[in-house]
Amino acid sequence: MSENTETFAFSAESLDAAKAIFAKYPEGRGASAVMPLLTLAQRQNDNWLPRAAMDVVADMCDMAPIRVYEVATFYTMYNLKPVGKNFVQVCTNISCLIKGSDDVFKACKKKMGIENGETTEDGLFTLLEVECLGACVNAPMMQINDDFYEDLDADTTTKVLDALANGETPAAGSQAGKRVGCQPDGGLTTLKGA
């Protein structure tokens, strides 16, 4: 994690990515790149945005810094303080709640020894209760960094967290082992030949 929050500069690799982002927008529409540039800065900075990074993005987009701060504070995908190596977001919206997200969240708190919004002392995990993550059909689910873990219960949640704690990368997707993507539990029932 970057300890220096007073300055920020995009790496050469990130600058190349930024150029590709700007190329997608018409001349004079640099402000349209604000969200992908904030995401790029956040990824470069261990998944959080110091004010200095937002200022760099504002300059690149030719925007007043306050406009960039407004974007970064409005969207929950931007982290304005450091998070753990594994940023665990547990969905507790209606579909996940009905299917047992309370048990998933309790398993996370028990395994990590932290509460909502906290980070473990070793910096390995940050836990956050969130609203809909858009995988309702495979509820309950949690997002860890960029990966979705679906069809969870307390045991499968603990297994995923154990694997991460051991430096392993657990397979994303359904943890029940009974579906592919968003297919029904028993597999396809229609459109089998299409």
Who has greater pLDDT, 193 or 176?
176
How much is the average pLDDT of 176-185?
Answer: 73
* pLDDT value at residue 194: 58
Thinking of the domain 86-174, which architecture would CATH place it in? 3-Layer(aba) Sandwich (3.40)
* pLDDT value at residue 2: 43
* pLDDT value at residue 190: 76
Q: What percent of the chain has pLDDT over 70?
A: 94
**pLDDT (tens digit per residue) in 103-120:** 999 999 999 999 999 999
Where residue 3 falls among pLDDT bands split at 50, 70, 90? very low
**Which element (helix H / strand E) includes 110?**
helix 101-112
How much is the average pLDDT of 18-40?
Answer: 94
8: which 2 tokens? 């920020």
Rounded Cα distance between 2 and 171, Å, is: 28
Q: Is the peptide bond before 184 cis (omega within 30 degrees of 0)?
A: no
Who has greater pLDDT, 182 or 89?
89
Find out whether 156 and 173 touch, Cβ atoms under 8 Å: no
- Residue intervals in the chain for CATH 3.40.30.10: 86-174
Report the relative pairing of strands 125-130 and 86-91 from DSSP bridges.
parallel
Q: Does domain 12-74 have CATH number 1.10.3470?
A: no
How much is the average pLDDT of 56-69?
Answer: 96
Find out whether 104 and 152 touch, Cβ atoms under 8 Å: yes
